[in-house]
Amino acid sequence: MGIVFDIQTYAIYDGPGIRTCVFFKGCPLSCVWCHNPESQRLQPEMGYRADRCAGCGSCVEACPHDALVLEGDGVRRDTGRCVVCGLCEKVCRADAHEKIGYKTSAEAVVEKVIADRPFFTESSGGVTLTGGEPTVQREFLLETAGLLKKSEIHTALETCGHFGKELMPALIDTIDLFLYDIKHADADTHKRFTGVDNRVILENFVSIVRKAGPPRIIPRIPLIPGFNADGASLKGICRFLKEARYEGPVHLMPYNSMAKSKYEKLGRGVQYQNMGELSGDMIDGFVGLVRDNGFEAVINH
Amino acid sequence: MDVHSETGERIGRLRHRYLDEVAVISIQRARYYTESWRETERSGLSNGERVALAMKNVYEKMDFFIDPDDRIAGAWTEHFLGIPIDVERGLFNDVFSVELKKRTMISHILKDNLRFIAYMIRKSGLSSLLRSLRETKAAGAAMPSIGTTTMSKRCVNPCTISRRDKRILLGDILGYWRGKTVVDILKKRLAEGKIFTGDMEGFSASLPSTTSRKDIVISLGAAMGVWQGHLILDHETPLKKGLLAIRQDVRKKIGQGGNTPEELGFLRSQEAALSGVVTFCERLKDYVQKAYEHENDPERKDILRVMAQNTASVPLMPAGNFREAVQSYWTVKTAVELALPFNVHAPGRLDQYFYPYYEKDIREGRITRDEARRLLEELLLKIMTHNMRPDSNYQGTFGQRYEGSEPVTLGGVTPRGDDATNELTYLIMEAAHRSKTALNIVVRIHQNCPKDLMLAVADLHYSGTSSISLMNDDISIAAMKKRGFSPADANNYAITGCVDMCAPGKTGGIGFSALLMARTLDITLRNGDAKTLVGFVRGVGLKTGDPDAFGSFNEFLDAYVLQAKNMIRLIVRASQIRDRLYAEMLPAPYISIFMRGCLDNKRDVTRAGAVYDLEGILFMNSIANVVDSLYVIKKLVFEKKAFGFGQLIDAVDHNFAGYEDIHRMITALDGKWGNGNRESDGLARELTTRLFEDTYRYKTFKGGPYAPFVNSMTSHTFDGRVSLATPDGRKAARPYAASCNPYNVDNRGLTGVLTSVAALDFTHVLGCAVNVRLHPSAVGETEEARKKYSSLIRTYFKLGGQQLQPTVASTEVLKCAQGQPEQYRDLIVKVGGYSAYFVDLGKEIQDEIISRSEHVKNG
């Protein structure tokens, strides 16, 4: 069993063809710009949208753990008491509560995604396992990927690369395409902004390039203002890619500042950091820079 | 495809004027038609000849109009933006009688309401009436009303009329036709034919109602269109042969002798009708010639010279070049649309008809691509202007001005089955994009069509050109064959009406009736009675049994199918009465001359002269709500036994007030239609196939098949407005799902929606509208993404989908457009089956479109 927080069909920017994305919950990194804060914690949690709440109090009444109190126009949740049973979501008429993440089996996930097989076949698409960081739920990930392989569905893994080496053989065996985040080549900067060292990440990358070959891995660079959206950082990443003997395209994923409401929904509004804007000209400049450093650059939104 | 450049100034000006000017009602047609009709009353001529002569009188006396921005000559009336009226059918006679003056509007409303109250008290007593009114109010519903704003002052589709014309129309003209129109006689014939069952006749007579007589409610589960005119004229023959040669053919047939008196009467009507159209052409030519002679500005004189040359030669003679071909097409269409306004005469496969002329002109340097495109832009806008009706204000919040049907069909295969895509396919798409005309532009997709064509469609969708819809040739051609069209004619299909397939130039005027799906479910739940927000009617359906007595879901399903089949039978009987009436009263010689088969068979199109005939049964309001309701009944009533029929009906009657638990269980039920759920998809297929197959049993008055269509136009909103809640959780007075759409209960995204829709067997269906609303990001910012969008559509077609008409507009944009309409003047959306300018639509239908699931980019 594992914990998934969303399954989205007709994803057209997450690997080749038409894809269905399975979002795993939980991530070992804590990137300051994270645009999927609901994916960070492994356990299911409750989201709450103050803008929808009618302040009727029916959830407060219904909560068997007294975890909710009416406060002003809305409701405050005591996360210490809340056991994420989801009853408040069920009784709410305004859809203000939302349970994020649910327990499910690999079989159930595969049964759901397999419904889109005709779309995968026609478009040479498949399933993308993403998150969060799918490797956090290693058993569940391998089971899901194994079943997908058995069903002959092309499987991509979006990963931050921060996982133990012992996982590698099984991943190489079941994953058709690694969409692999390379955030920064400098260890200190990486640690400062993501909470972890990049050593394992870079080593794993090299290892996949060696064992699986370049067509099965694509490095993706999230372009984050104030972190890596600058010439020196990008050159550093390109240098690493060359050393790793990687010879394919590089995906650039420009930052957008739209995740604010997601943080607020989780009651973590204070954690949200706006990293700033990237202009079209700046993005064009980065594309040119990566190209000048010997890689084909593809903008991926 | 170049999707960025704006259109030229001239076309922009034309568009803005068509959009913003108040249309003028022209009485010339009505007046001269009536004048002749009176004269021939005792002539002993056949009705066909009388119709032909009446219109000839119109063509001889009407005034013409030409605008400085016109390059294609010929307007519908003497005004830049005018509406002619046909008084003999009487579709809108009551609209004029009532809605041109405030005084008559108020008295209409008063009389209507008094009649309604009197009926209700007589039938069920005062207390029951009061309860029903309270319930209606509680549901937030109000009976639609014509209101008190006259036609010239209203917001939606205003039309004005001069004082003098109003006097003549309301006095002499409408006075003469009172009691004599098709509408008047049809009502009597339907009653004589015992079409109305139970309390139906009294009930519908009592309803506070629209003044429009386009449709008749024949039962609470069925309605019938009063006219029978969705068709595509044979435009190829006049282009290739010219009208004079066609008239020679008719004269030859008369001269050959051996004709029965009926045949001779028909042939004479054809000769007279051709002379009528020839008169129209010659007077148009003279008008343009005079304008040319009187013009002093050299630049304008040059333009008029070309127009004078064109009108001098076509459509009397065969077209010799592209400009002539366009002019020939337009002159014929305008003349016939004047004889039968509001019919929906779609243009057919314009890329095929015009291509030989275009190709030759390009090759010989007579025209440039841009010149041709501008001419097409003008043509597409002009076709749109034939698509407005002087309809009742009752339609107000549900309506708009241009009902952008009259689709142009592009691409597809040739009659022999080869790819038919050509340069004009792309050019017309581009013209549609740049002109922003509110027409349906239907692109036929088949297995071997160029990849570029799908990408061009994706480009245009991304840019928000929602006029473009897609048809799946594989399924559509199979469906045509099943209904008796020859393989070549099936391959050659084109779209008329909103989404209706036919063999162009060979299929006599299609009439339409509608099976009201959710109302039929209500009738099943009430064992043959029906309840609406405006009253309860006994005995409109069969006694299929008290629902509590059904031992299994399948028994209940059988009962529903039985009720629906009964409605289909009623539709068959009613439409046969209607079609017989047309054949007797109002033959259509002006269609017959442009309809293959009529001359060979020596029969009018209303008497099965055409090669093919067809009657449509619309499955509306709606498959989604009924399938979901049945699914709820199956899962919650029969399998989980969460509640019984009694509770469910009570909940529906009370609009779920006090039954919130039941409503919650219903909305929480997973897997409704639209999620690719095997069980509900299977149910949808089984239910619809059983009903689709039932239609093969019947033949129309003209011997053609009855075929199912799935399209709701705007009826899903105004039918919804007077309807109770439904077991799928839809609340009272809320719109039903539009056309063939799932009811926005999808949580598996676009692929789930398309998988579910494709589960229906569309090889029984001759047209459907599948609306999906997309954020541009779902079509794709990059070419790579647009290729995926193409794959999405191809997969949907391979799964068995027949049609797709995306509206590419985000919720945000639509809301902005509601707030600042002037800035979104040319934003086009798909309503039920047709295209329309969003800001022209009434608020209720705008809200319905906004409430449709929006599919954004994922991942």
Interface test with B, best of A119, A120, A124, A130 (most B CBs within 10 A): A119
Q: What percent of chain B has pLDDT over 70?
A: 98
Residue B226 pLDDT greater than 80, yes or no: yes
Indicate if A19 and A61 belong to the same structural domain: no
> In Å, what is the CA distance from B646 to each residue of B369, B524, B550?
67, 13, 12
Indicate if A24 and A169 belong to the same structural domain: yes
CA–CA separation, B797 vs B445, rounded Å?
A: 9
Residue B101 pLDDT greater than 70, yes or no: yes
CA–CA separation, B725 vs B654, rounded Å?
A: 8
pLDDT digits (tens, 9 = 90+) for B146-165: 888 999 999 888 999 999 99
CA–CA separation, B100 vs B89, rounded Å?
A: 19
* B148 backbone φψ class: left, alpha, beta (φ>0; ψ -120 to 50): alpha
B792 and A21 within 8 Å at the Cβ level: the answer is no
The string of DSSP letters for B326-387 reads HHHHHHHHHHHHHHSTTS-EE-B-HHHHHHHHHHHHHHTTSS-HHHHHHHHHHHHHHHHHTS
Q: Is the Cβ of B780 closer than 8 Å to some Cβ of chain A?
A: yes
Interface test with B, best of A6, A12, A14, A253 (most B CBs within 10 A): A12
Higher-scoring residue by pLDDT: A198, B536: A198
Residue B563 pLDDT greater than 90, yes or no: yes
**B745 Cα to chain A: minimum distance (Å):** 15
CA–CA separation, B810 vs B838, rounded Å?
A: 13
Is residue B220 within 8 A of residue B540, CB to CB? The reply is yes
**A124 Cα to chain B: minimum distance (Å):** 9
A122 and B798 within 8 Å at the Cβ level: the answer is yes
Residue A51 pLDDT greater than 90, yes or no: no
A118 and B780 within 8 Å at the Cβ level: the answer is no
Residue B570 pLDDT greater than 80, yes or no: yes
Of A67, A83, A98, which closes a domain? Answer: A98
CA–CA separation, B507 vs B488, rounded Å?
A: 14
From chain A, the residues in CB contact with B752 under 8 A are 9, 115
Instruction: Give the domain CATH number at A57.
Output: 3.30.70.20
Segment among A108-117, B558-567, B819-828 with least mean pLDDT: B819-828
Highest averaged pLDDT of the listed ranges A31-45, A257-271, B585-599:
B585-599
Structural domain range at position A85: 46-98
List B residues 447-476 in contact with A (Cβ-Cβ < 8 A). none
Indicate if A68 and A162 belong to the same structural domain: no
Question: What does the pLDDT read at residue B139?
Answer: 67
- Classify B676 as helix, strand or coil: coil
Q: Is the Cβ of B748 closer than 8 Å to some Cβ of chain A?
A: yes
Interval B58-64 mean pLDDT? 98
CA–CA separation, A133 vs B608, rounded Å?
A: 69
Indicate if A127 and A73 belong to the same structural domain: no
Q: How confident is the model at residue B440 (pLDDT cuts 50, 70, 90)?
A: very high
For chain A, the residues whose C-beta falls within 8 A of a C-beta of chain B are: 8-14, 17-21, 90, 115-116, 118-119, 121-123, 125, 128, 130, 299, 301
Q: Is the Cβ of B785 closer than 8 Å to some Cβ of chain A?
A: yes
Higher-scoring residue by pLDDT: A91, B398: A91
**A34 Cα to chain B: minimum distance (Å):** 15
Comparing CB atoms, the residue among B752, B782, B794 nearest residue A9 is B752
Residue B141 pLDDT greater than 70, yes or no: no
Residues 6 or more apart in contact with residue B82 via CB below 8 angstroms: B23, B24, B25, B26, B65, B75, B76
Q: How confident is the model at residue B607 (pLDDT cuts 50, 70, 90)?
A: very high
B751 and A10 within 8 Å at the Cβ level: the answer is yes
Burial of B128 (0-12, 13-18, 19+ CB in 10 A): middle
Under DSSP, the state recorded for B295 is -
**B792 Cα to chain A: minimum distance (Å):** 6
Interval B90-112 mean pLDDT? 93
pLDDT digits (tens, 9 = 90+) for A60-98: 999 999 999 998 888 999 988 999 999 999 888 888 999
Q: Is the Cβ of B676 closer than 8 Å to some Cβ of chain A?
A: yes
The string of DSSP letters for chain A reads -EEEEEEEEEE-SSSSSSEEEEEE---S---TT-S-GGGSSSS-EEEE-TTT-----HHHHH-TT--EEEETTEEEE-TTT-----HHHHH-SS--EEEE-EEE-HHHHHHHHGGGHHHHHHHT-EEEEESS-GGGGHHHHHHHHHHHHHTT--EEEEE-S-S-GGGHHHHHHH-SEEEEE---S-HHHHHHHHSS-SHHHHHHHHHHHHHH-GGGEEEEEEE-TTTT-SHHHHHHHHHHHHHTT--S-EEEEE-----HHHHHHTT-GGG--------HHHHHHHHHHHHHTT--EEE--
User: What is the average pLDDT score of chain B?
Assistant: 93
Interval B689-703 mean pLDDT? 97
Question: What does the pLDDT read at residue B313?
Answer: 97
Closest-CA residue of B relative to A119 is B795
pLDDT digits (tens, 9 = 90+) for A124-182: 999 999 989 999 999 999 999 999 999 999 999 999 999 999 999 999 999 999 999 99
Higher-scoring residue by pLDDT: A273, B51: B51
Question: What does the pLDDT read at residue B208?
Answer: 64
CA–CA separation, A61 vs B492, rounded Å?
A: 65
CA–CA separation, B771 vs B828, rounded Å?
A: 13
Instruction: Give the domain CATH number at A140.
Output: 3.20.20.70
pLDDT digits (tens, 9 = 90+) for B459-479: 999 999 999 999 999 999 999
Question: What does the pLDDT read at residue B228?
Answer: 84
Q: What percent of chain A has pLDDT over 70?
A: 100
Is residue B421 within 8 A of residue B452, CB to CB? The reply is no
Alpha carbons within 13 A on the beta-carbon side of B2: 10
Residue B7 pLDDT greater than 70, yes or no: no
Comparing CB atoms, the residue among B781, B798, B859 nearest residue A21 is B859
Segment among A52-66, B389-403, B589-603 with least mean pLDDT: B389-403
Q: Is the Cβ of B791 closer than 8 Å to some Cβ of chain A?
A: yes
From chain A, the residues in CB contact with B668 under 8 A are 90
Comparing CB atoms, the residue among B676, B798, B858 nearest residue A11 is B858
Residue B52 pLDDT greater than 90, yes or no: yes
Q: Of the candidates B215, B145, B88, B190, which has an alpha carbon nearest to the alpha carbon of residue B586? A: B88
Indicate if A62 and A205 belong to the same structural domain: no
**B55 Cα to chain A: minimum distance (Å):** 55
Residue B4 pLDDT greater than 90, yes or no: no
Segment among B75-84, B116-125, B589-598, B609-618 with least mean pLDDT: B116-125
Of A82, A98, A114, which closes a domain? Answer: A98
Segment among A13-22, B394-403, B565-574 with least mean pLDDT: B394-403
Is residue B695 within 8 A of residue B706, CB to CB? The reply is yes
Indicate if A79 and A106 belong to the same structural domain: no
CB burial of A85-106 (b: ≥16 within 10 Å; e: otherwise) equals eebbbebbeeebbbbbbeebeb
Query: pTM, whole model, 2 decimals?
Result: 0.94
Question: What does the pLDDT read at residue B398?
Answer: 76
How are strands ordered across the β-sheet holding B23-26? Answer: B82-84, B23-26, B159-160
**B61-66: Cβ within 8 A, 24+ apart:** B61/B28, B61/B32, B62/B28, B62/B29, B62/B32, B62/B283, B62/B338, B63/B28, B64/B283, B64/B284, B64/B287, B66/B287, B66/B288, B66/B291, B66/B307
pLDDT digits (tens, 9 = 90+) for B735-744: 999 999 999 8
**B783 Cα to chain A: minimum distance (Å):** 11
Question: What does the pLDDT read at residue B244?
Answer: 97
Indicate if A173 and A293 belong to the same structural domain: yes
Interface test with B, best of A5, A6, A8, A9 (most B CBs within 10 A): A9
Find the angle CA(A218)-CA(A219)-CA(A222) to the nearest 5 degrees. Answer: 130
B788 and A128 within 8 Å at the Cβ level: the answer is no
pLDDT digits (tens, 9 = 90+) for B324-365: 999 999 999 999 999 999 889 999 999 999 999 999 999 999
CA–CA separation, B826 vs B836, rounded Å?
A: 9
Question: What does the pLDDT read at residue B279?
Answer: 98
Indicate if A208 and A153 belong to the same structural domain: yes
A17 and B750 within 8 Å at the Cβ level: the answer is no
Q: Report the number of distinct structural domains present in chain A.
A: 2
Closest-CA residue of A relative to B676 is A115
Comparing CB atoms, the residue among B755, B777, B788 nearest residue A18 is B788
Indicate if A25 and A114 belong to the same structural domain: yes
B749 and A21 within 8 Å at the Cβ level: the answer is no
Helix (H) or strand (E) run with residue B536 in it = strand B535-537
Alpha carbons within 13 A on the beta-carbon side of B388: 28
Query: How do strand B615-620 and strand B706-709 relate by DSSP bridges?
Result: parallel
A123 and B751 within 8 Å at the Cβ level: the answer is no
Closest-CA residue of A relative to B857 is A11
Residue B1 pLDDT greater than 60, yes or no: no
Interval B176-186 mean pLDDT? 96
- Classify B309 as helix, strand or coil: helix
Residues 6 or more apart in contact with residue A194 via CB below 8 angstroms: A29, A30, A31, A32, A183, A184
**B723 Cα to chain A: minimum distance (Å):** 24
Interval B260-281 mean pLDDT? 97
The Cβ of residue B260 has, within 10 Å, a number of other Cβ atoms equal to 9
Interval B184-208 mean pLDDT? 85
Q: Which residues pair with B4 in a beta bridge?
A: none
Question: What does the pLDDT read at residue B859?
Answer: 54
Indicate if A110 and A242 belong to the same structural domain: yes
Residue A235 pLDDT greater than 70, yes or no: yes
From chain B, the residues in CB contact with A11 under 8 A are 857-859
Indicate if A118 and A216 belong to the same structural domain: yes
The string of DSSP letters for B738-772 reads PTT---S--SSHHHHHHHHHHTS-GGG-S-B--EE
- B498: which 2 tokens? 């909103």
Tally C-beta pairs within 8 A across A and B.
80
ipTM here: 0.91
Question: What does the pLDDT read at residue B396?
Answer: 67
pLDDT digits (tens, 9 = 90+) for B291-311: 999 999 999 999 999 999 999
CA–CA separation, B56 vs B450, rounded Å?
A: 46
Q: How confident is the model at residue B136 (pLDDT cuts 50, 70, 90)?
A: confident
Q: Of the candidates A283, A272, A279, which has an alpha carbon nearest to the alpha carbon of residue A33? A: A272
> In Å, what is the CA distance from B336 to each residue of A183, A184, B408, B582?
68, 71, 17, 17
Find the angle CA(B476)-CA(B480)-CA(B483) to the nearest 5 degrees. Answer: 140
Question: What does the pLDDT read at residue A292?
Answer: 95
Is residue A60 within 8 A of residue A68, CB to CB? The reply is yes
C-alpha B225: how far from chain center: 11
Is residue B571 within 8 A of residue B577, CB to CB? The reply is no
Q: How confident is the model at residue B5 (pLDDT cuts 50, 70, 90)?
A: low
Indicate if A93 and A230 belong to the same structural domain: no
Q: How confident is the model at residue B140 (pLDDT cuts 50, 70, 90)?
A: low
Q: Of the candidates B273, B195, B181, which has an alpha carbon nearest to the alpha carbon of residue B227? A: B181
- B397: which 2 tokens? 């919040």
A10 and B794 within 8 Å at the Cβ level: the answer is no
Comparing CB atoms, the residue among B664, B751, B859 nearest residue A119 is B751
A12 and B781 within 8 Å at the Cβ level: the answer is no
Residue B124 pLDDT greater than 80, yes or no: no
